[in-house]
Amino acid sequence: MPASITRGQLFSRGAKSSAVLLVGGSVLGQFVDTAAASPLSTTDLAYARLLVGAELLASDFYSQGVAASNSGPVVDGYLHRALANEQEHYQSVAGILTGAGMTPAVSGDIDFSYPAGTFASQGSIVKFARQLEELLLGAYLGAIAGIQADALKAGLAQIAACEAQHASYFTAAGGSKAFKSSFPPPLTIDQASDALDAFTA
Amino acid sequence: MRFSRIISLLAVVALGAALTVAGAQANSSKTAAGLTIFAGSSMTTVLPEIDSGNTYSFGSSTTLATQIRNGAPADVLMSANTTVPASLYAAGVVEKPVNFIRNTLAIVVPKSNPAGIKSIYDLTKPGVEIDEAASTVPVGSYTVQVLNQMGINDAIQANVVSKETSDANVVAKVALGQVDAGFVYLSDYVIDPAQLRLIKVPAWAQPKITYAMAIVTKSPNQATAQAWMNKVLSPAGQAIFVKDGFLPIAAAVPTITRISPARAKVGGTVTLTGTNFTGTTSVTIKGVAAKFKVVSATKLTLTVPAKAKSGTITVTNPSGTATSKRLTIA
């Protein structure tokens, strides 16, 4: 889905488009419209850039996880699904920046690095996926708390819910309890930035 | 950083105050007769490594551009951004600029790190003393861009105690412990890290730092200047930049659209048509390396090697590999 897609283009795809696409698309449209309607604060734009970077990391990781071809069919299916989700999330949060007339980072702009052996086995992939999803969940929860434009919060919460589902699945797949905390902790922007930076070259 | 280099850099600072040419500060490195090259101060170490036979004048790219506009006898301008050469090109002062290298913004702190800086966000804490370049020079402009993108420019500017005319001056002050932190290029740290500690600027907030160079229109040494630019862009030239902490210009992935002839004998010549052949590092036929010659960005010739078997041809450059349709070895 191109970043510049409009709501009209999205809905014109008709009834064949899945409900998932429409829901994801409505978040994209909501973000673009909000950013275009009135100037966002520097804090909100900073959050958007951070989340774009986080989604690029997630897409890069799941792409490599799929390409490694060393997971069983069930985990492999979830890796593919998570990749698709993260790509849709990227388009949505990038829409905040494009709506504000700015250029979001793209995959070639950031070089990611992973701990040795991250893609060596299904177990190592699942372990990193859990760590990554907890980072993403914390970053989105922090953004919901810190972002000033109320119109962006609902969409960010939808994405956070999806990241929580990812975290839950990969935690269980790694042999731990699928969920534990009643209130998963948010990350401040500097905590999220530092955590993300650990995986950039 | 060796102490001698710090002294040298401070000498440059002092010299800068004394120079009056267009308000310029420049560090001239005269060697054997060759080209006169005006270059951003972040290239002070790397350019003489590529060719020590030129005369280099290092300083703020903005200031050097002003000198060239005023008639300074330069052959080539090498700027730490693309906007300065573009404006000179628009004014007819230089030929068409060529991008030649990239860089990354970084934070350096003294080796002892007295302020305990661990993250860029620590620079917003009260009492931290920061040095940065003025926003009129490229590194200062990139710094403000990053801080605005992170939403922390106001908080950090409140801690800025000094603004310099170049990254070299920032490095010198940090190395001597006169400030707690400074914004510089990554290459400034890589070249001489002895007295410094590196703090990363987050990748998600990094600006696109691209350097561009151009031949001065009035230069009487056009052919030699073009040869110099080719040398900078060559794999050997780029490797020296990369060693010193710069990033190579990302070449586009090659494509192959046509093979002629589609059937060839060992020792025969095959011509490939496509795109982005400049910078090709290897050519193979079904995995066997072949000798090749880049005729142009869209044309490449290869010689079918003795051990070649029928199969696809690959063309590889630093950005990726193109694969052709099958070549039949007769």
- Is B148 close to A42, i.e. CB distance below 8 A? yes
Q: Which of residues 153-212 of B touch A (CB under 8 A)?
A: 153, 200, 202-206, 208
* Predicted ipTM of the assembly: 0.77
From B122, which residue of chain A is nearest by alpha-carbon distance? A190
Torsion of CA B26, B32, B35, B41, to 10 degrees: -30
Does the distance separating the beta carbons of B206 and A53 come in below 8 Å? no
Residue B7 has pLDDT above 90, yes or no: no
Higher per-residue confidence, A21 vs B98: B98
The CA distances from residue A146 to A18, A97, A104, A190, B115, in Å, are 32, 17, 20, 12, 27
Q: What is the pLDDT of residue B235?
A: 85
What are A4's two structure tokens? 């510049």
User: With an 8 Å Cβ cutoff, is B119 touching chain A?
Assistant: yes
Residue of A nearest to B124 (CA): A190
Angle between helices A73-99 and A19-37 (to 10 degrees): 20
Phi, psi angle pair for B114, to nearest 5° = -65, -25
> Chain-wide mean pLDDT for chain A?
86
Domains of chain B: 3-102+209-243 (3.40.190.10), 105-205 (3.40.190.10), 255-329 (2.60.40.10)
- Cα separation, B245 vs B186, in Å, equals 6
Quick one: average pLDDT of B65-78? 96
Tell me the per-residue pLDDT of A31-57, one tens digit each, with 9 for 90 and over: 888 888 889 999 999 999 999 999 999
The pLDDT value recorded for residue B33 is 52
Is A9 a residue whose pLDDT tops 50?
A: no
**Mean pLDDT, residues B34-40 taken together:** 95
Instruction: Delimit the domains of chain A by residue range.
Output: 41-86+102-197
pTM equals 0.72
Which residue on chain A is closest to B203 by alpha carbon?
A110
> pLDDT grade, residue A25 (50/70/90)?
low
Q: Which of A53, A111, A201 sits opposite B204 (nearest CB)?
A: A53
Question: What's residue B177's pLDDT?
Answer: 96
**C-alpha distance from B62 to closest chain A C-alpha (Å):** 26
Distance from CA of residue B217 to its chain's centroid?
A: 22
pLDDT in tens, B297-330: 788 999 999 989 999 998 887 667 888 999 999 8
Distance, in Å, from the CA atom of B259 to the CA atom of B253, rounded to the nearest integer, reads: 18
CATH number assigned to the domain with residue range A41-86+102-197, chosen from the 4 options 1.10.3820, 1.20.1260, 3.30.70, 1.10.4100? 1.20.1260
Asked if A193 lies within 8 A of B121 by C-beta distance, the reply is yes
Per the CB < 8 Å rule, is B202 touching A45?
Answer: no
Question: How far away is chain A from the Cα of B236, in angstroms, using its nearest Cα?
Answer: 23
Interface contact flag, A194 B204, Cβ < 8 Å: no
pLDDT over threshold 70, residue B104: yes
For chain B, the average pLDDT equals 87
Transcribe B10-56 into DSSP letters: HHHHHHHHH--GGG--EEEE--SS--EEEEEGGGTTHHHHH-TTSEE
A200 with B202: Cβ contact below 8 A: yes
Which of these, B22, B49, B4, B10, lies nearest to B241 by C-alpha position?
Answer: B49
Q: Is the pLDDT of residue A19 over 50?
A: no
Is A194 in contact with B250 (Cβ distance < 8 A)? no
The reported pLDDT for the residue numbered B319 is 65
Which strands, in side-by-side order, build the sheet including B269-275? B255-260, B269-275, B299-303, B291-296
Q: Which residues contact A186 (CB under 8 A, 6 or more apart)?
A: A138, A141, A142, A144, A145
Least confident of A81-85, B14-18, B77-81: B14-18
pLDDT (tens digit, 9 = 90+) per residue, B228-252? 999 998 888 999 999 999 998 866 6
Q: What is the pLDDT of residue B11?
A: 43
Taking an 8 Å cut-off on Cβ atoms, the answer to whether B150 and A46 are in contact is: yes
**Rounded to 5 degrees, what angle do the CA atoms A144, A147, A150 make?**
80
Q: For a pLDDT cut of 70, what percent of chain B falls above it?
A: 88
Distance linking the first and last C-alpha atoms of chain B: 61
Residue B234: its pLDDT value, please?
87
